[in-house]
């Protein structure tokens, strides 16, 4: 027993080491430069600067003034420690992605060893095939075509909460585990609403399953009514708690936006096909749990993953029906693709694992039993494969270069940059070799250029339409657009602070 405990400790240390390795390996790379990146950075930067919860009325943040900021507070804390909010955002993003797949691998480890071994091999093969062929959007793709940073962080909290709930259920029963999930759901709502709603659905599924499928004869005679009442109270309390949470109304305002998602799956046919497939695999997994449960082999992870798959399809289809009648948005439907693809891969792998252990083929059983001896190695291999194969490795811009610009402009802003005149603003534009998104990001975050103005002038064109809107322009020394004039700069170095009046003349 002590030997097994030591093995688990070593495995945990190895997981942490591999996660650190993944973060360090990718620390200087990023997969997209969407406007969402700038908005998440701006909110984290403002928190690090002011440590104030009230950002309402800040024109440089726009819709981010009412965005759930739990993940951004974490970024702000790390940013203050390492003196770069942008680097902190990168670290938090990579860590969240790593944690999502680490928690998924740990869920696999909660299966019987012979089933888990085959399932992990199947998951690794599915992930590799997907990355080499269609490249459907699994977890991690939230930050590839777009930058759904908070959603990815919330997803890692969701999977971590499932592991926690399984441990609680084994210790104290379903009512304790659902109570723990409610607490985690409310914490997660501070990060992102979508994973929180999925957790709410999971709570409902767990309680209903408990009442319908887990009643012994004694419970039927004496305790059924009391348990049903208690379950209804928990479900009502969880719905009410989420509805009154500030994040609920805040995220509802943003659900009308539409983003460029679904890199491989089509809309709506692709999404609906995934819903159908996940429904089938969830029913199959639930049936497998029920069969093992009746045989007194308690494997709660099967129940949780089956119910979670069912919840995803119900929520996605409900949102699609609402959209069909003009009451929802395509954007909200598309956001389920990451969860649907991932849970489908997870469920198919587990179903494959159960098929292998129940196979009548002796050669397959021999191979499976031999693989069990290498279970820790297979766990680690599956973790590495899911980490490194789920996202593309295209380095479009060096993070260290952006951090260098960030620190220079922060220093200039703190020391040399004068405050703007009344009804005018300072702006960052035309930084050498940087995309428009980064100029826009530094403008709204550091010089507090109003988002509405920065979108048209910096993000869209990286060129100022009307210089009369600005007091000072921060730009690179070698910029051809703003160095053609004999305007004296306040700063000396690679970054210039030029009075807008001079440029206007």
- How many angstroms separate the CA atoms of 399 and 406, rounded? 10
* Residue of higher predicted confidence among 52 and 336: 336
* Residue of higher predicted confidence among 425 and 397: 425
- How many angstroms separate the CA atoms of 48 and 80, rounded? 7
Residue 214 has a pLDDT of 62
The pLDDT tens digits for 341-351 are: 999 999 999 99
pLDDT of 3 over the 50 cut = no
**How many C-alpha atoms does 492 have within 13 Å on its Cβ side?**
0
The pLDDT tens digits for 295-320 are: 767 789 999 999 999 999 999 998 88
pLDDT of 53 over the 60 cut = no
pLDDT of 180 over the 60 cut = yes
Structural domain boundaries of the chain?
399-504
Residue 248 has a pLDDT of 55
Contacts of 95 (CB under 8 A, 6+ apart): 19, 23
- Hey, what are 410's tokens? 């922060």
* Residue of higher predicted confidence among 233 and 176: 176
Residue 1 has a pLDDT of 40
**pLDDT band at residue 11 using 50, 70 and 90 as cut-offs:** confident
Percent of the chain clearing pLDDT 90 (strictly above):
44
- Hey, what are 369's tokens? 């039993």
> Measuring CA to CA, which residue among 340, 343, 344 is closest to residue 267?
340
Residue 258 has a pLDDT of 53
Question: In which element (H, E) is residue 75 found?
Answer: helix 70-82
- How many angstroms separate the CA atoms of 410 and 83, rounded? 10
The pLDDT tens digits for 218-230 are: 455 455 666 666 6
- How many angstroms separate the CA atoms of 329 and 320, rounded? 8
The pLDDT tens digits for 350-364 are: 999 888 876 656 666
Find the mean pLDDT for residues 199-226: 73
- How many angstroms separate the CA atoms of 61 and 74, rounded? 18
- How many angstroms separate the CA atoms of 55 and 326, rounded? 32
pLDDT of 374 over the 70 cut = yes
Q: Are 78 and 91 in contact (CB under 8 A)?
A: yes
- How many angstroms separate the CA atoms of 483 and 426, rounded? 17
- How many angstroms separate the CA atoms of 306 and 496, rounded? 58
Residue 327 has a pLDDT of 73
Find the mean pLDDT for residues 399-419: 91
- How many angstroms separate the CA atoms of 181 and 203, rounded? 7
The pLDDT tens digits for 252-297 are: 555 555 555 556 677 888 899 999 999 999 999 999 998 887 776 7
Residue 13 has a pLDDT of 84
- How many angstroms separate the CA atoms of 290 and 253, rounded? 41
Residue 348 has a pLDDT of 96
Residue 217 has a pLDDT of 43
Percent of the chain clearing pLDDT 70 (strictly above):
83
Find the mean pLDDT for residues 415-440: 90
> Measuring CA to CA, which residue among 106, 229, 214 is closest to residue 156?
106
Instruction: Give the SS3 label for residue 188.
Output: helix
Q: Which of 27-31, 53-57, 121-125 has the highest mean pLDDT?
A: 121-125
The pLDDT tens digits for 468-478 are: 889 999 998 87
Q: Are 302 and 343 in contact (CB under 8 A)?
A: no
pTM: 0.90
Residue 445 has a pLDDT of 94
Place of tokens 């305007």: 487
pLDDT of 109 over the 60 cut = yes
Q: Are 58 and 46 in contact (CB under 8 A)?
A: yes
Q: What dihedral do alpha carbons 50, 54, 60, 62 form, nearest 10°?
A: 150
Residue 268 has a pLDDT of 82
**pLDDT band at residue 366 using 50, 70 and 90 as cut-offs:** low
- How many angstroms separate the CA atoms of 441 and 454, rounded? 9
Find the mean pLDDT for residues 96-123: 93
Residue 125 has a pLDDT of 94
């Amino acid at each position: 027993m002590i030997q097994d405990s030591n093995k688990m400790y070593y495995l945990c240390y190895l997981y942490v080491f591999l996660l650190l390795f993944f973060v360090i390996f990718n620390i200087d790379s990023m997969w997209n430069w969407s406007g969402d990146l700038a908005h998440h950075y701006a909110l984290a930067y403002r928190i690090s600067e002011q440590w104030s919860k009230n950002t309402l009325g800040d024109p440089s943040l726009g819709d981010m003034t009412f965005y759930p900021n739990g993940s951004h507070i974490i970024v702000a804390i790390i940013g203050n420690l390492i003196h770069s909010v942008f680097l902190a955002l990168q670290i938090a993003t990579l860590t969240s992605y790593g944690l999502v797949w680490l928690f998924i691998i740990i869920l696999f480890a909660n299966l019987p060893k012979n089933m888990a071994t085959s399932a992990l091999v199947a998951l690794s093969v599915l992930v590799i095939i997907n990355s080499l062929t269609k490249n459907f959007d699994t977890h991690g793709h939230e930050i590839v075509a777009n930058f759904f940073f908070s959603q990815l962080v919330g997803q890692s909290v969701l999977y971590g909460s499932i592991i926690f709930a399984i441990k609680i259920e084994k210790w104290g029963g379903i009512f304790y585990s659902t109570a723990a999930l409610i607490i985690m759901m409310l914490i997660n709502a501070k990060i992102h609403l979508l994973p929180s709603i999925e957790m709410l659905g999971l709570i409902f599924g767990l309680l209903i399953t408990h009442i319908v499928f887990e009643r012994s004869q004694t419970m039927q005679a004496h305790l059924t009514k009391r348990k049903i009442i208690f379950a209804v109270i928990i479900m009502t309390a969880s719905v009410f708690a989420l509805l009154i949470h500030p994040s609920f109304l805040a995220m509802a305002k943003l659900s009308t936006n539409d983003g460029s998602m679904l890199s491989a799956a089509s809309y709506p046919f692709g999404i609906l096909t995934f819903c159908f497939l996940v429904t089938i695999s969830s029913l199959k997994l639930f049936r497998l749990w029920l069969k093992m449960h009746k045989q007194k082999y308690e494997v709660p992870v099967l129940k949780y993953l089956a119910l979670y798959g069912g919840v995803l399809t119900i929520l996605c289809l409900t949102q699609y029906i609402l959209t069909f009648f003009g009451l929802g948005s395509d954007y909200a439907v598309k956001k389920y693709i990451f969860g649907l693809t991932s849970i489908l891969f997870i469920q198919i792998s587990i179903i494959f694992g159960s098929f292998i252990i129940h196979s009548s083929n002796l050669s397959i059983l021999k191979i499976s039993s031999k693989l069990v001896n290498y279970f820790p190695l297979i766990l680690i291999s599956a973790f590495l494969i899911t980490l490194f194969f789920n996202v593309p490795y295209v380095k479009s811009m060096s993070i260290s270069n952006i951090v260098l610009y960030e620190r220079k402009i922060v220093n200039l802003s703190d020391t040399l940059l004068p405050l703007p005149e009344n009804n005018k603003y300072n702006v960052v534009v035309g930084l050498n070799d940087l995309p428009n998104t980064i100029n826009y990001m530094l403008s709204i975050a550091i010089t507090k250029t109003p988002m509405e103005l920065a979108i048209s002038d910096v993000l869209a064109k990286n060129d100022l339409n009307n210089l009369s809107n600005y007091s000072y322009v921060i730009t690179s020394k070698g910029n051809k657009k703003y160095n053609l004039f004999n305007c004296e700069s306040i700063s000396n170095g690679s970054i210039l602070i030029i009075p807008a009046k001079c440029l206007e003349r």
